Amino acid sequence: MYPRGEKRFVQINLITIVALFVLIFAGGIVRSSGSGMGCPDWPKCFGTFVPPTDVSQLPVGYQNKYVDQRVDKNQRFAQTLEVLGFGNLANRVRNDKSILLPEEFNVAKTWTEYINRLIGAITGLLLLSCVLFSVVYLRMRMQIVVLCIINLFLVGFQAWLGSIVVSTNLLEWVVTVHMLLALLIVGLSIYTYFIARSMRDIRLSEGTSNLFVKLASIAILIFITLQIAMGTGVREQIDTISGIMDNSIRSEWVSKIGYNFNLHRDLALVLFLFILALFFLIKKAPSASRYQKKYTLYVLIVAALQILTGIILAYFSLPPVAQTLHLFLATLMFGMHFYSVLLSQNSYHKVA
């Protein structure tokens, strides 16, 4: 039985995790539809809190105005890169002529990006709520409070980094960091949720795992993370190719990626086999809890769906819907397997 304050935190933490996955899905839609510049300014959209629905509602000279703002933003980002020692990357940002091309108004892209921002704002408020409700753990589990505060700052940094991703026309290095940071935010939320639950629910620590299973679970988690990073790199190559080919002849994009795509595809099959082997190991272990068995099965199912969307992408000219699902399933697999790893460690115990 959870005390009232702890129950409230567990509930809001779970809602936050769901919201984070919804936000990642929405971000995938923005990416696959090219809607990142649907709202060229922030936090408003074309200078208003409710986006326009027709070009006649746009401010006079909006294209030049927002191009100038974008250039200024990129110049400041280039200065930051130089300070951090990334001089070559800073020069690329400064000399990128594509940012000088004004974005044409598209009502569908504008509202797609606007809805994504709304979901992001709601998620930010939920993370703030996690911080406020976590005070109940100040004496029992201080780490929950600290991690919630860190996550709140991370999501703010992530929002800024997302604006840089769009402003720099999907600069490769920034896109990868943006994706990995999203995984970190999700991971921290899952971690605080698990700690809070395991304090009161002894069933989460009933099963036992031998050292091999524990190490194998951690290794697969690292493998999943590396695959997501590699997949982000493949997607960056696709964006570059689509730009060169002026978004035409999609059927030829995959063939032009080459080695990185083939490696990502082959490693995905290897990863699936590892997850399958882990599933049978845990399923046959008499000491494994039903939670461990259940979540390992979930991971296996999501991994299979991930393979399916990869096949659709490779052989059906990269349909945008499959691109969004492929990204979403990858992060969902990461989150589920991370929870499975926590279950296998058995390092938390019920409190009095």
Which whole-number Å values give the CA distances from 159 to 30, 48, 117, 138, 154, in the listed order?
Answer: 14, 19, 9, 28, 9
> 196 or 260: whose pLDDT is higher?
196
pLDDT on residue 207: 63
Distance CA 25, CA 15 (A): 15
Max Cα–Cα distance, the chain, nearest Å = 70
Mean pLDDT of the 158-163 span: 85
Distance CA 296, CA 14 (A): 19
59 φ, ψ (degrees, to nearest 5): -65, 155
Distance CA 239, CA 34 (A): 10
Interval 16-42: pLDDT, tens: 999 999 999 999 998 888 887 788 877
Interval 169-186: pLDDT, tens: 666 677 888 899 999 999
pTM for the predicted model, two decimal places: 0.90
- Is residue 208's pLDDT more than 70? no
HSE, CB side, 13 Å, CA atoms: give it for residue 42: 20
Contact predicate 338/194, CB 8 Å: no
Contact predicate 208/287, CB 8 Å: yes
Interval 275-332: pLDDT, tens: 999 999 988 887 777 888 899 999 999 999 999 999 998 888 888 899 999 999 999 9
